[in-house]
């Protein structure tokens, strides 16, 4: 039984119990004097009792973060919230900024997706936590240090870490420090906005377990915002599914997991790649999330739903209460199949296998790389990113490279691209010695870049914001000696309309920008495509679209791929062979099915077991 329920509409003058939250009839509008006000979030409502957890799930653009920012009073300039948000006896909508500022940290606190944006990179952990403490505690040095040590212990960090600077910490450790800072003044409500996105399975499991333990021990309310339903299932009492600024479904986690009552929720579940077997096709939801103001008078999901009827396009379905504690905004709930989504499907996806070759496309021998730092800390430190790494990639072979953050995966990719020069070892690339790009002639360097291209995790950082999509692709085509007439074909190859050539990167969604980044890499017709966490930060449905795109491109072009990821389910679907990287060393390699089903190295077993446990928690 849970005390987290959907609050009835009507903006009633209700008072939440101590530590509890009531959100009622919440709307968020953009005030634009040229085009008039535009609705971004409409009629969101729920109750959250003290000590309970609510997951808010949906794709990018669904209104999750705007709902959270409304609660804590941090909406961007030009956005206005209306309706009611009550924390205990306090009404937060319309409250003066000075009152909201006094509540932040003490009554409501926020943990962001990337703690590095909240933590000063050159500040020590001790200084970061001291800033978050009550001023009276900060003024007493002995009491302050004692409290910092206690807060670090609460999130599982040794006291010695207090004197490290935040840039020296791993992603998971930074997230722990961010949580400790957010809880330093014992808030009644913690909002965690995508706290595990792009973390490896082991670190993700640790962060979720930490949040759950802290929430239970403190009797604190928790709102967990995520685009991953499996993360919500593992951590939340109840889940609210949002889409295009509105609520589509709400219910207890167990009920939502085994019998979703809205087509959108079911689509999100089906889009997640399975860990235990290869499927012939990943089930992406077609299309993209529309703007909220464009679908006010209809079912927001109508344009992407395979159960749509005329009535769905002429009215906004109300949230209806169902027998199992669910609410669903679907006119055809009774026709929806409520059995467990997608039974395991066997099948053999077309994953490229190596072609017999006298000389492999890539041959890496005894590669090592160390980084040295003395400038900021004043102490000489050496970090060994790679130790004696050796492997080969054949023609048309799909190879995975897996490991936790800091294991050396990206350093290896940078060495292959010539962006980093290894200290020792050798890199053979298509018969060319590409160990040190600075020693190559201009023609050899061009040949190397035509042989290997890369797609990064964040496509926006790899696209020039001052160039249209067409200009960016034309620039890449010219490097190969091609013609601008190839641009429409490149866009078509990655599933985008030709008129996208006139658009700017800022006007595209994350998935569309990733498609453009792939098209730009393909413009040089490389023999090897390195994919460095290309779907780590994408919504699960967009992730399925991009993975299917990469499968089809690989099959059509016969190029090799090196797929770098921390997600073992993605490795299962995308590769025929896998390398496991741990502390800069390749500790295990072999056929993907063999390594994932029967790992021999303890580290690989730990990765596999953490991923399987996460899958079982969501099953």
Domain harbouring 507, CATH code: 3.40.50.300
Q: Is residue 418 part of a domain?
A: yes
Give 528-558 pLDDT, tens digit per residue: 999 988 888 788 888 898 899 899 989 888 9
> Residue 152: which region, alpha, beta or left (left: phi > 0; alpha: psi -120 to 50)?
alpha
Residue 470 lies in a domain: yes
The pLDDT assigned to 373 comes to: 61
Q: Is residue 302 part of a domain?
A: no
Q: Name every residue whose Cβ is closer than 8 Å to that of residue 170 and which is 6 or more positions away in sequence.
A: 203, 405, 406
Count CB neighbours of 49 within 10 A.
Answer: 19
Query: What does the pLDDT look like over 57-88, one tens digit per residue?
Result: 998 889 998 999 999 999 988 899 999 999 98
- The answer to whether residue 444 sits within a structural domain is yes
Quick one: which of 435, 382, 383, 386 has its CA closest to 408? 386
Count of beta carbons in the 10 Å neighbourhood of residue 138: 15
Q: How confident is the model at residue 4 (pLDDT cuts 50, 70, 90)?
A: very low
Give the residues across from 206 on adjacent strands: none
Distance in angstroms (rounded) separating the CA atoms of residues 582 and 67: 39
Residue 152: burial class (beta carbons within 10 Å; 0-12, 13-18, 19+) = buried
Q: Which of 589, 424, 448 is nearest to 530 (CA)?
A: 448
Strand order in the sheet with 362-373: 381-393, 362-373, 424-429, 432-433
For residues 584, 588, 594 and 599, what is the CA-based torsion angle, rounded to 10 degrees? -90
Query: Has residue 436 got a pLDDT over 90?
Result: yes
The sheet with strand 560-565 has its strands ordered as 452-455, 528-532, 560-565, 398-402, 577-582, 585-591
So what's the pLDDT on residue 154? 86
Q: Which two tokens stand for residue 104?
A: 């932040």
Separation of CA 42 from chain center: 25
User: Does residue 253 lie in a domain region?
Assistant: no
CA distance 541 to 549: 13
386 forms beta bridges with 369
| Three-state DSSP class for residue 346 | coil
Measured distance CA(410)–CA(564) in Å, rounded: 8
Pairwise pLDDT comparison (254 vs 197), residue with the higher score: 254
Residue 162 makes CB contacts below 8 A (sequence gap 6+) with 124, 125, 126, 129, 148, 149, 152
Q: What is the DSSP letter of 124?
A: B
**pLDDT tens figures, 104-126:** 988 999 988 766 667 787 888 89
Q: Domain residues for 523?
A: 395-422+436-618
Instruction: Let me know how long the chain is.
Output: 619
Does a structural domain hold residue 577? yes
> Chain-wide mean pLDDT for the chain?
86
Structure tokens at 97: 């900024």
Calculate what percentage of the chain has a pLDDT beyond 70.
90
**Domain-embedded: residue 552:** yes
**Tens digits of residue pLDDT in 416-427:** 999 999 999 999
Cα distances from 115 to residues 63, 79, 120, 149, 532, in angstroms, run 21, 24, 10, 20, 21
Q: 540-543: list long-range contacts, CB under 8 Å, 24+ apart.
A: 540/59, 540/227, 540/228, 540/229, 540/268, 540/271, 540/272, 541/59, 541/267, 541/268, 541/271, 541/284, 541/285, 542/59, 542/60, 542/284, 542/288, 542/509, 542/510, 542/511, 542/514, 543/271, 543/273, 543/570
- Is the separation of the CB atoms in 404 and 585 below 8 Å? no
pLDDT band at 380 (very low <50, low <70, confident <90, very high): low
Residue 518 lies in a domain: yes
Q: Domain tally for the chain? A: 1
**Confidence bin at 12 (pLDDT 50/70/90):** very low
How far is the C-alpha of 196 from the C-alpha of 205, rounded, in Å? Answer: 9
| Mean pLDDT of all residues in 446-450 | 89
User: Is the distance from CB of 31 to CB of 80 less than 8 angstroms?
Assistant: yes
At residue 614, the pLDDT reads 61
Identify the residue whose tokens are 């909002």: 191
The residue-averaged pLDDT of 152-180 equals 83
């Amino acid at each position: 039984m849970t005390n987290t329920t959907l609050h009835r509409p009507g903006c009633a003058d209700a008072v939440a119990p101590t530590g509890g939250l009531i959100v009622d009839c919440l709307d968020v509008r953009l005030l634009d004097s040229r085009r008039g006000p535009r609705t971004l979030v409409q009629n969101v409502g729920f109750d959250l009792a003290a000590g309970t957890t609510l997951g808010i799930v949906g794709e990018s653009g669904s209104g999750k973060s705007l709902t959270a920012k409304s609660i804590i009073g941090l909406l961007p300039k030009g956005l206005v919230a209306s309706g009611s948000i009550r924390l205990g006896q306090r009404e937060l909508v319309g409250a003066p900024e000075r009152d909201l500022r006094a509540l932040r940290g003490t009554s409501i606190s926020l943990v962001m997706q990337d703690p590095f944006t909240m933590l000063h990179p050159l500040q020590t952990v001790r200084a970061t936590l001291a800033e978050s403490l009550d001023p009276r505690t900060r003024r007493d040095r002995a009491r302050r240090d004692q409290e910092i040590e206690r807060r670090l212990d609460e999130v599982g960090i040794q006291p010695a870490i207090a004197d490290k600077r935040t840039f020296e910490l791993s992603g998971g450790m930074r997230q722990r420090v961010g949580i400790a800072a957010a809880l330093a003044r014992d808030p009644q409500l913690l909002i965690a906005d995508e706290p595990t996105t792009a973390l490896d399975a082991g670190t993700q499991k640790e962060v979720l377990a930490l949040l759950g333990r802290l929430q239970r021990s403190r009797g604190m309310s928790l709102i967990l915002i995520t685009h991953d339903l499996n993360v919500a299932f593992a951590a939340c009492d109840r889940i609210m599914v949002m889409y295009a600024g509105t609520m589509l479904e709400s219910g207890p986690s167990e009920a939502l997991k085994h019998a979703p009552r809205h087509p959108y929720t079911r689509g999100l579940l089906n889009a997640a790649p399975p860990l235990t077997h290869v499927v012939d096709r990943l089930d992406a939801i077609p299309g993209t999330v529309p703007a909220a103001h464009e679908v006010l008078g209809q079912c927001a999901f109508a344009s992407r739903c395979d159960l749509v009827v005329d009535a769905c396009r002429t009215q906004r379905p109300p949230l209806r209460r169902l027998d199992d504690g669910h609410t669903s905004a679907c006119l055809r709930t009774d026709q929806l199949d409520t059995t467990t989504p997608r039974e395991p499907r066997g099948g053999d996806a077309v994953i490229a296998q190596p072609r017999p070759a006298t000389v492999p496309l890539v041959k890496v021998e005894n590669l090592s790389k160390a980084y040295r730092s003395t400038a900021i800390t004043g102490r000489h430190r050496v970090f060994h990113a790679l130790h004696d790494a050796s492997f080969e990639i054949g023609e048309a072979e799909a190879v995975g490279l897996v490991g936790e953050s800091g294991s050396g995966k990206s350093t290896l990719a940078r060495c292959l691209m010539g962006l980093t020069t290894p200290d020792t070892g050798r890199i053979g690339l298509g018969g060319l010695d590409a160990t040190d790009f600075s020693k190559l002639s201009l023609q050899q360097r061009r040949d190397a870049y035509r042989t290997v291209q890369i797609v990064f995790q964040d496509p926006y950082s790899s696209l020039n914001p001052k160039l249209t999509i067409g200009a960016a692709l034309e620039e890449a085509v010219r490097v190969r000696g091609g013609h601008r007439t190839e641009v429409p074909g490149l866009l078509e190859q990655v599933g985008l309309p030709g008129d996208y050539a006139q658009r700017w990167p800022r006007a595209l969604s994350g998935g569309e920008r990733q498609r453009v980044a792939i098209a730009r890499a393909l413009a040089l017709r490389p023999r090897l495509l390195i994919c460095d966490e290309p779907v780590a930060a994408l919504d699960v449905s967009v992730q399925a679209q991009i993975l299917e795109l990469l499968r089809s491109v690989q099959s059509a072009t016969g190029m090799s791929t090196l797929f770098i990821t921390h997600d073992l389910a993605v490795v299962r679907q995308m590769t025929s062979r896998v390398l496991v990287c741990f502390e800069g060393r390749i500790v295990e390699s072999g056929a993907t099915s063999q390594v994932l089903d029967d790992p021999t190295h303890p580290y690989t077993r730990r990765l596999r077991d953490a991923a399987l446990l996460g899958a079982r928690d969501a099953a």
